[in-house]
């Protein structure tokens, strides 16, 4: 049994396939497994909470894990240790989520492209057709992650409290979410995965795209992301497209294309869930 995992900070999708790529069971979903945020104990507990994974752990021969927070050696080592402990017979590989986005969005294995993730968090890399290049090390959701779910969640909450929302938008936002200050602070400072909590608010933007306020909010985040991340690859942008993966990017395609025309880069493919494109990649040589 081969497990292919695409993990964000909010959720992790697990596919179980055989060497021919045939599904062995329905897709398993667990909470997000970000080793930059969660402890070893919490990672263990989250994985083993799945009945399907727990019952089949001795059958697993390979684990190919792609995740948010796996961009540093320490984080990869921590998660590799946890996965090896849970799946003792498996060959385990842990990579950052950007690499999954690359394999899922490029048109052929040797295509060069700038590849962006906009989900709960955000990231951007250049793939030269063989090697992934990252010019900015992520400092996580507090300082970075422009145009991500948690970025937009943070902006929405601030705009609500600073009274920067149009009145009709503010009423709708307050009706949909618990905006009590103590409740918000409890989730941000006393609960695990505050970035995932913030990202839950981003859905609101896509339910209210009839508002000029919302469209401006979405585009301002994309502009910040382009300025800080995409344009780290100014020379490469002259000849390669920019592909996007993740739910935020998927639902903001129109706004991304408009910002790309405005700022001068070429938009390529969009993939909401990279995991489906990883099956043929990982089974063709086994």
Portion of the chain with pLDDT greater than 90, in percent = 80
pLDDT of residue 278: 84
DSSP-assigned letters across all residues of 117-137: EESSSEEEEEE-SS-EE-SS-
Token digits for 216?
Answer: 């401006």
3-state secondary structure of 112: coil
* For residues 221-230, average pLDDT: 98
Write down the pLDDT at residue 132.
92
Q: How many residues does the chain have?
A: 286
Lowest mean pLDDT among 49-58, 100-109, 162-171, 207-216: 100-109
Whether the predicted pLDDT of 243 surpasses 90: yes
- Encode 140-158: b = buried (16+ Cβ within 10 Å), e = exposed: bbeebbbbbbbbbbbbbbe
Q: What is the pLDDT of residue 16?
A: 96
CATH level 2 (architecture), domain 2-100+275-283:
2-Layer Sandwich (3.30)
pLDDT at 285 over 70: no
Determine how β-strand 28-31 pairs with β-strand 11-17.
Answer: antiparallel
* Two structure tokens written together for 26: 């329905």
Q: How confident is the model at residue 54 (pLDDT cuts 50, 70, 90)?
A: very high
The predicted pLDDT at position 138 comes to: 81
Greater model confidence, 113 or 11: 113
Q: How confident is the model at residue 96 (pLDDT cuts 50, 70, 90)?
A: confident
As a whole number, mean pLDDT of residues 148-169 equals: 97
Residue 225 has pLDDT above 70, yes or no: yes
pLDDT at position 286 is 61
- Which pLDDT score is estimated for 213? 98
């Amino acid at each position: 049994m081969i497990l292919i995992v695409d993990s964000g900070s909010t959720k992790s999708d697990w596919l179980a396939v055989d060497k021919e790529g045939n599904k062995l069971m329905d897709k398993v979903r667990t909470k997000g497994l970000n080793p930059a945020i969660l402890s070893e104990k919490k990672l263990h507990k989250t994985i083993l909470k799945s009945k399907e994974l727990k019952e089949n752990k001795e059958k697993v021969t390979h684990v190919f894990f792609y995740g948010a927070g796996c961009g540093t050696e320490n984080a990869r080592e921590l998660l590799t240790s946890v996965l090896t402990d849970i799946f003792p017979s498996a060959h385990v590989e842990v990579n950052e989520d950007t690499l999954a986005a690359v394999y899922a969005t490029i048109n052929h294995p040797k295509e060069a492209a700038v590849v962006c993730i906009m989900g709960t968090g955000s990231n951007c890399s250049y793939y030269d057709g063989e090697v992934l290049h990252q010019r900015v090390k992520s400092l996580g959701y507090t300082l970075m992650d422009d145009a991500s779910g948690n970025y937009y969640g943070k902006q929405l909450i601030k705009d609500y409290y600073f009274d920067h929302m149009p009145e009709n938008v503010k009423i709708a936002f307050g009706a949909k979410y618990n905006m009590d200050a103590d409740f918000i602070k409890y989730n941000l400072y006393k609960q695990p995965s505050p970035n995932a909590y913030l990202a839950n608010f981003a859905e609101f933007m896509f339910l209210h795209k009839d508002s000029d306020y919302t469209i401006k909010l979405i585009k301002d985040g994309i502009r910040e992301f382009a300025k800080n991340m995409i344009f780290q690859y100014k020379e490469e942008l002259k000849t390669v497209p920019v592909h996007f993966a993740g739910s935020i990017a998927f639902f903001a395609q129109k706004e991304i294309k408009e910002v790309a025309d405005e700022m001068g880069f070429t938009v390529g493919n969009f993939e909401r869930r990279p995991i489906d494109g990883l099956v043929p990649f990982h089974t063709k040589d086994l």
